Amino acid sequence: MVAEAERLRPVIEQHAQIVCTDLTGTEDLSNIEADLAIVLGGDGSILRAAGQMGHRQVPVAAVNLGKLGFLANMSPDELPEILRDFAAGKLRIIEHLMFECTILHDGKVCSRQLGLNEVVVHAGTPFALVNIDLYVDSDLVTSYSCDGLMIGTPVGSTAHCLSAGGPILRKDLQAFVILPLSPHTLTMRPVVDSADRVYEMVVAGPNPETTVVVDGRVFRRLQPGDRVRVERSKARFKLVTNPGHTYYRTLREKLGWGGQLKLNDV
């Protein structure tokens, strides 16, 4: 990635003034004054950049250097044209749902984290099932006996959610997916509900290593009585569109939906 960044730097400088460069993914980008963030890598790099920007999200031009890249929607060769069109105001910027994950204990906030993909409560070692109560707007939905419970966004629906058997949601939908991981009862199915609701997960008897994971990173180990609250954030992830890559074209190419139905002659 570093070599590609060095190769593309002169190209970028033909169209923009570079105010900050971060090749380690460790800089605090929340106070950077910029019109555009160019992220090189895959969807993991984009998740990290979104976290670094915090509640001051800058439009992202995502250049795919990874393998799959649902969010990274342009190639390095397409970047010059994208920069020209962005400067001319020709490109749409689509805003995507982000969430706040809050851990509460005895009604007090212990930790808070901004996220883009998903929150997962993992049962953890000794790898025994846990019972996770789900509340929506303070109304008890059910108690899941499972390996874990995921609440994900439309952007996250093509990440961990997809590999766990969840549905694919169009990226601009305002909704959350509730997905039990390996539930003991097979009638426990994924549910899609409005992003305007408040979701809470409670594990009365967590395992020693029952953990909350946000966007693939360990957030906090759960203690008895903790409540994991997930709700819409005021922050919005902003992605610069690539006119050459439509939603269904991306799904078709990334998921290998390119097969053709062959009909026998009658």
Residue 208 forms part of a structural domain? yes
Residue 45 forms part of a structural domain? yes
What was the pLDDT predicted at 259?
62
40 and 131 both lie in a single domain: no
* Distance between CA atoms of residues 107 and 136, nearest Å: 17
What's the domain range around 42? 2-92+241-254
- Is pLDDT above 50 for 123? yes
Residue 265 forms part of a structural domain? no
- Is pLDDT above 70 for 266? no
Number of structural domains (the chain) is 2
213 and 172 both lie in a single domain: yes
What was the pLDDT predicted at 250?
84
43 and 87 both lie in a single domain: yes
Determine what percent of the chain is predicted with pLDDT higher than 90.
80
Q: pLDDT, tens digit, for every residue of 215-259? A: 999 999 999 989 999 999 999 999 999 987 888 888 888 888 866
53 and 15 both lie in a single domain: yes
Residue 1's alpha-carbon distances to 39, 109, 133, in angstroms, are 10, 38, 43
Distance of CA 195 to the CA centre of its chain: 14
CA atoms within 13 A on the CB side of 75: 5
Question: Full-prediction pTM beyond 0.95?
Answer: no
- Is pLDDT above 80 for 68? no
What was the pLDDT predicted at 246?
82
What was the pLDDT predicted at 1?
74
Q: Chain-wide mean pLDDT for the chain?
A: 92
139 is annotated as an active-site residue: no
Residue 68 forms part of a structural domain? yes
Residue 264 forms part of a structural domain? no
Q: pLDDT, tens digit, for every residue of 85-115? A: 999 999 999 999 999 999 999 999 999 999 9
Determine what percent of the chain is predicted with pLDDT higher than 70.
97
Q: Is the peptide bond before 180 cis (omega within 30 degrees of 0)?
A: no
How confident is the model over 180-203, as a mean pLDDT? 95
The CATH number covering residue 129 comes to: 2.60.200.30
In the set 22, 28, 35, 43, the catalytic residue is 43
Residue 92's alpha-carbon distances to 22, 95, 158, 168, in angstroms, are 25, 10, 22, 22
How confident is the model over 24-45, as a mean pLDDT? 93
What was the pLDDT predicted at 46?
93
